[in-house]
């Protein structure tokens, strides 16, 4: 059996294979509420044959959205809208569903990517942002408000409340978003966190809010459901967050009962210098994997089944997350199973699509 199609568990959550549909922002919500687009988007990805589908970064409060069109889960209206979508998806889904909970911090109040993604002022539908320190992402952005301890407590509670809502909706996995330059990553990195209190300065202090939110979310959801964290392993900027600090954070999260670490990189600073190429983030996942016992997910320009299989076979990661490759080919796991001589889940309505040269591809 190929490693890619070997079962794996995240905590007590069992996955039939090691292909993860990564969370991918769609910028298609209305006032934080899921729409028909989400039903279509998640519906076809749920039939992909992957081992797990993680719903896009979902804001824990309105001010935490990257754009005005971000998905949210902060009140009854956003919960009910997402429930309508998820209930339909789960009716036919052949895999467990997770959700990524996040807050954009100083990278909030932006336009959607296909309109340039620039900062939105209040006059153009934007809002006041907040961050660990009063440092904008871009020099031309409005300056965020440095968060008071009371504001930190509000955001921590927002993560917990959103996790409880997601639990009610039937999600089986919760991913705390501490990557890509968003709020929790902003606390981690010395480039964006210049606080002088217990949330800034030393590594122990900069990690504090991530560990506190993880601990409280873990306590708020059932033990049989998985809770993990997505991190950026490095800022790709001298003097910023790096792999050694990511190892320390991963070890601290493991000690608190974290079920997995999802390893990405970058996003904190416009000064980043990323050497983008196939597998460019895999070495970070491999280094973190050597330091912890819980599963590590690798992601980033992994596009071919043989490439994904080689990463797992070499012991560089425990699972593979796909984002753009899955949007381009929503049946990627089917094609991977065919190439690697494996079987994959598919809805019976699609069984007759099985090509003649790979008979037996679909699990009955």
- Which residue carries 């997601």 as its tokens? 166
pLDDT at position 364: 67
Judge contact between 128 and 105, C-beta under 8 A.
no
Task: Report the distance separating Cα 84 and Cα 82, nearest Å.
Answer: 5
Measure the CA angle with vertex 275, ends 272 and 280; round to 5°: 115
Residues 6 or more apart in contact with residue 142 via CB below 8 angstroms: 109, 119, 121, 126, 128, 129, 136
- Residues 36-66 as b/e (b if ≥16 CB within 10 A, e otherwise) read eebbebbeebbbbbbbbbbbbbbbbbbbbbb
Instruction: Evaluate if pTM is beyond 0.75.
Output: yes
pLDDT at 363: 86
What are the CA-CA distances from residue 117 to residues 6, 68, 120, 289 (Å)? Answer: 39, 11, 9, 34
Closest CA to 270 of 117, 120, 94, 129: 117
DSSP track, 116-162: T-PBPPGGGT----EESSS--SSTTSPPPEEPPHHHHHHHHHHHHHH
Containing 112, the helix (H) or strand (E) segment is none
Q: Which of 51, 46, 49 is nearest to 14 (CA)?
A: 51
Contact between 235 and 187 (Cβ < 8 Å): no
User: Could you tell me the end-to-end alpha-carbon distance of the chain, in angstroms, rounded to an integer?
Assistant: 18
**What's the Cα-to-Cα distance from 308 to each of 184, 208, 319, 325, rounded to whole Å?**
29, 34, 9, 12
Q: Which fold has domain 8-358?
A: TIM Barrel (3.20.20)
Measured in whole angstroms, how far is the alpha carbon of residue 53 from the centre of its chain? 10
pLDDT of residue 94: 86
Three-state secondary structure call for residue 236: coil
pLDDT tens-digit profile, the chain (364 residues): 899 999 999 999 999 999 999 999 999 999 999 999 999 999 999 999 999 999 999 999 999 999 999 999 999 999 999 999 999 999 999 899 999 999 999 999 999 999 999 999 999 999 999 999 999 999 999 999 999 999 999 999 999 999 999 999 999 999 999 999 999 999 999 999 999 999 999 999 999 999 999 999 999 999 999 999 999 999 999 999 999 999 999 999 999 999 999 999 999 999 999 989 999 999 999 999 999 999 999 999 999 999 999 999 999 999 999 999 999 999 999 999 999 999 999 999 999 999 999 989 998 6
- C-alpha span between 55 and 35 (Å, rounded): 13
Instruction: Give the Å distances, CA to CA, from 207 to 66, 122, 163.
Output: 22, 32, 20
Domain boundaries, the chain: 8-358
How far is Cα 354 from Cα 166, in angstroms, rounded to an integer?
35
* Percent of residues in the chain assigned helix, strand, coil, to nearest 5: 40, 15, 45
Q: Using alpha carbons, select from 205, 252, 266, 258 the residue that is nearest to residue 229.
A: 258
Residue reference for tokens 């679909």: 362
Question: In the chain, where does DSSP find H-type helix?
Answer: 36-46, 76-92, 149-168, 183-188, 203-206, 208-220, 243-255, 282-291, 305-313, 324-328, 332-340
- Active-site residue list: 182
User: Cβ contacts of residue 163 below 8 Å, gap of 6+?
Assistant: 101, 174, 217, 220, 221
């Amino acid at each position: 059996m190929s490693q890619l199609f070997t079962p794996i568990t995240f905590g007590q959550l069992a996955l039939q294979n090691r292909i993860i549909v990564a969370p991918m922002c769609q910028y298609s919500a209305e006032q934080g509420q899921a729409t028909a687009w989400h039903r279509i988007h998640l519906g076809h990805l749920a039939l992909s044959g992957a081992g797990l589908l993680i719903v896009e970064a979902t804001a824990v409060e309105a001010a935490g959205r990257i754009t005005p069109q971000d998905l949210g889960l902060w009140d009854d209206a956003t919960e009910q809208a997402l429930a309508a979508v998820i209930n339909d998806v789960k009716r036919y889904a052949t895999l467990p569903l997770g959700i990524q909970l996040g807050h954009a911090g100083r990278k909030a109040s932006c336009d959607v990517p296909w309109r340039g993604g620039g900062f939105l002022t209040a006059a153009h539908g934007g809002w006041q942002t907040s961050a660990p320190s009063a440092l904008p992402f871009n020099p031309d952005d409005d300056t965020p408000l440095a968060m008071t301890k009371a504001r930190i407590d509000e955001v921590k509670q927002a993560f917990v409340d959103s996790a409880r809502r997601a639990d009610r909706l039937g999600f089986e996995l919760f991913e705390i978003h501490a990557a890509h330059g968003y709020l929790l990553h902003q606390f981690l990195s010395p480039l964006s966190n210049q606080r002088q209190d217990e949330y800034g300065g030393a590594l122990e202090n900069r990690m504090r809010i991530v560990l506190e939110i993880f601990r409280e979310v873990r306590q708020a959801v059932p033990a049989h459901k998985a809770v993990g964290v997505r991190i950026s392993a490095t800022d790709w900027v001298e003097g910023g967050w790096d792999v050694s600090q990511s190892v320390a954070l991963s070890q601290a999260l493991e000690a608190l009962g974290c079920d997995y670490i999802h390893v990405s990189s970058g996003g904190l600073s416009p000064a980043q210098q990323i050497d983008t190429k196939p597998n460019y983030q895999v070495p970070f996942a491999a280094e973190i994997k050597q330091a912890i016992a819980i599963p590590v997910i690798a992601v980033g320009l992994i596009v071919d089944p043989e490439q994904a299989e080689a990463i797992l076979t070499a012991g560089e990661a425990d699972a593979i997350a796909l984002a753009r490759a899955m949007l381009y080919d929503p049946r990627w796991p089917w094609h991977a199973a065919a190439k690697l001589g494996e079987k994959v889940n598919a809805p019976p309505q699609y069984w007759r699509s099985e090509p003649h040269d790979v008979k037996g591809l679909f699990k009955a």
